[in-house]
Structure 1
């Protein structure tokens, strides 16, 4: 029995959810679930469960209002449930319309912006934040390094 339990907790499970078929259709044109999972795996060595949910603006706004008291949809929300040195459990919500608008406004490819936000959300799930300037610089440096490994440019450089 103990071996079985160890097997269950010896890997990172990544679940990807789509709020609608339209969101799934739009997203898979940018990045497959396999590619998104690769981005997640580069971001953490932890075991556990990360659920990535891609939503529309209405669901994004509802969640941001309910949990952050901000009455608008935001690009990514992370809900960490468990975190330790070697394990993580979190839901990460991505609002696809917001991400699309930001990518266009920032003159970035949708794929590069999405990869950045996946990395960003996964770092939040592991306890990183950007509330204080020192923490923001540390988190940004990690993001830049991870995105470079994935073949993406520094997301903080103006284009």
Structure 2
């Protein structure tokens, strides 16, 4: 079954080392990862992906979640299925550190976090209960397996 149409805005803030992150995130690859995460009830998606540095990531997390640190991905969902609309903010330095700690290629960790953010945009939540967390992790693993990537929750 063909994947739903995706309107994608891919933005990179100015920060040290941005070239490495641009190289890991070619538009066609980001679109493929996001499309793979869209559920069967999604007819179309409008997603903006912004890759930011540590200061901007921290500021956004502080302003919107009242948590004073930079986190890997933030999802701002505006509309659910059938037309999903959301902004995904990815903090490049955090993602690079995590990828290094996990021994994973940077692009592979970005794929996981883009899928994670896209699932949040569709209403999936891992903070509501243990059962919800397990369901979301299982869905992430299914999507990533379809992309030929390993389950990030298996050690």
State TM-score, norm by structure 1: 0.87
Q: Paired residue for 1:152, among 138, 144, 149?
A: 149
Match of 2:110 in 1: 114
SS of equivalent residue, structure 1 residue 29:
helix
SS of equivalent residue, structure 1 residue 88:
strand
Deviation of 1:111 after TM superposition, in Å, equals 1.5
Q: What residue ranges of structure 1 are gaps of 5+ in the alignment?
A: 1-9
- Please say which structure displays the higher CA radius of gyration: 1
Question: Could you give the per-residue CA deviations for residues 15-34 of structure 1, whole angstroms, max 9, x where no partner exists?
Answer: 11111275652223223111
Q: Is 2:13 the counterpart of 1:19? A: yes
Distance 1:148 1:112 in 2: 12
Contact 1:60 1:73 in 2 (8 A): yes
Q: Paired residue for 2:71, among 74, 92, 107?
A: 74
Change (3 A) 1:21 1:58: closer
Q: What residue ranges of structure 2 are gaps of 5+ in the alignment?
A: none
Change (3 A) 1:19 1:72: same
Distance 2:87 2:7 in 1: 12
Q: Is 2:137 the counterpart of 1:140? A: yes
Deviation of 1:157 after TM superposition, in Å, equals 1.5
Deviation of 1:14 after TM superposition, in Å, equals 1.2
Runs of 4+ in 1 over 3 A off after TM superposition: 21-24
Question: Could you give the per-residue CA deviations for residues 29-60 of structure 1, whole angstroms, max 9, x where no partner exists?
Answer: 22311101110011115213110100000000
1:1-159 equivalences in 2 (<5 Å): 11-20=5-14, 24-45=18-39, 46=42, 47-84=44-81, 86-131=82-127, 132-158=129-155
State TM-score, norm by structure 2: 0.90
